Amino acid sequence: MELKQLLALVTVGDTGSVTKAARLLHVVQPAVSRYIRALEDEVGVPLFERSSQGMTLTPAGEVLAERARRALLELDRARAEIRPDREHVRGIVTIGLLESTVELVAAPLVEVLGRRHPGIDVRILSAFSGHLRQWLDDGAVDMSLLYNVNSTPSIAVTPLLREALWAIAPPDAELGREALTWDRVCENRLILPVAGHGLRTLVDEALGAAAAAPTIVCQTNSMPVQKKLVAAGTGWSVLPAAGVAEDVAAGRLLGGPIVDPAISRTIVLALPRAGRNPPAAEVAATEIARVTQRLVQNGTWPTASVAHTG
């Protein structure tokens, strides 16, 4: 297999079109078709289903394209690391951020990496903790923020901060100054994450301890959907303060701590144990720790406290 063939496979798979792929790869259309046919001859199975609507990867094509993407990414990383530059660390770093932390962490992290380490090509992916953990195990991200996770033989975990979860209410709700009990929260219809989601597990444990009986009007795996439904007055929710800090500050939502019992999570930075972490990844990991600590110390990350290890 040749590099140009793998590039053609991935690009056609992403665009669904030989014509579009040729334009992106800056080659003529017959060359792209030739690369794909050569790959199919080598592996002995069709890699695309061809129709008047375009090109769609077959199951075999999906497998090969996924492997090809990883190989191409590793080549990009190698080029970036060995390119001579005595003044700056260079390389590609893919960082996983919890969806609930993106609003607070992404901008300052990208800013500081760009200012202090301009040789690093930063790529950010966001998802829920379970997906991020899978991406970390698969090598799709170099490091990731996760929560309530301990070190294992495959990942090394550094606790960064502990964060309380809030009851989230519509902007016209009357929360008062006191912390909210679960009975008070459950007087309202609730919009919660779907069962099996990490945050839902924390909420269910707290509800069980409080012997509270909620009325759940909607379950969703999307934090933006939760926030929109609460803002529209559909019900209340329970979310990490980091995910709603901007909305509360802008008056789009109201938020307050919950007691009896309180509910919190520990945000950690996880890196794979296998292999050598390149210098660019080590630098990025250091900056993530610094950025999150600064957000806690200056009060930008509500309800959070810096985690102390050892």
What per-residue confidence (pLDDT) applies to 279?
Answer: 82
Distance (Å, whole) CA 135 – CA 246 = 28
Same domain, 167 and 260: yes
Same domain, 274 and 125: yes
Same domain, 77 and 98: no
Same domain, 114 and 205: no
**How does DSSP classify residue 100?**
G
Give the Cα-Cα-Cα angle 10, 96, 191 (nearest 5 degrees).
110
Query: Is 283 in contact with 120 (CB distance < 8 Å)?
Result: yes
What per-residue confidence (pLDDT) applies to 220?
Answer: 92
Same domain, 294 and 210: no
Q: Is 137 exposed, middle or buried (0-12, 13-18, 19+ CB in 10 A)?
A: middle
Give the number of domains in the chain.
3
What per-residue confidence (pLDDT) applies to 276?
Answer: 65
- What CATH number is associated with residue 121? 3.40.190.10
- Return the closest-CA partner of residue 143 out of 172, 113, 118: 113
- What CATH number is associated with residue 65? 1.10.10.10
Same domain, 196 and 257: yes
What per-residue confidence (pLDDT) applies to 86?
Answer: 43
> Which parts of the chain have pLDDT scores under 50?
84, 86, 310
Which of 54, 82, 110 corresponds to the end of one domain? 82
What per-residue confidence (pLDDT) applies to 145?
Answer: 95
Same domain, 8 and 78: yes
Which of 37, 63, 82 corresponds to the end of one domain? 82
Tell me the whole-structure pTM to 2 decimals.
Answer: 0.69
Distance (Å, whole) CA 85 – CA 202 = 47
What per-residue confidence (pLDDT) applies to 175?
Answer: 81
Same domain, 62 and 151: no
What per-residue confidence (pLDDT) applies to 233?
Answer: 94
**DSSP calls for 42-53:** HHSS--EEEETT
What per-residue confidence (pLDDT) applies to 72?
Answer: 81
Strands (E), 64-178: 91-98, 120-127, 143-147, 155-169
Same domain, 134 and 197: no
Same domain, 137 and 251: no
Helices (H) and strands (E) in the chain, counts: 11, 13
Domain span at residue 288? Answer: 91-161+266-306
Same domain, 176 and 244: yes
What per-residue confidence (pLDDT) applies to 168?
Answer: 94
Same domain, 157 and 270: yes
- What CATH number is associated with residue 206? 3.40.190.290
What per-residue confidence (pLDDT) applies to 25?
Answer: 86
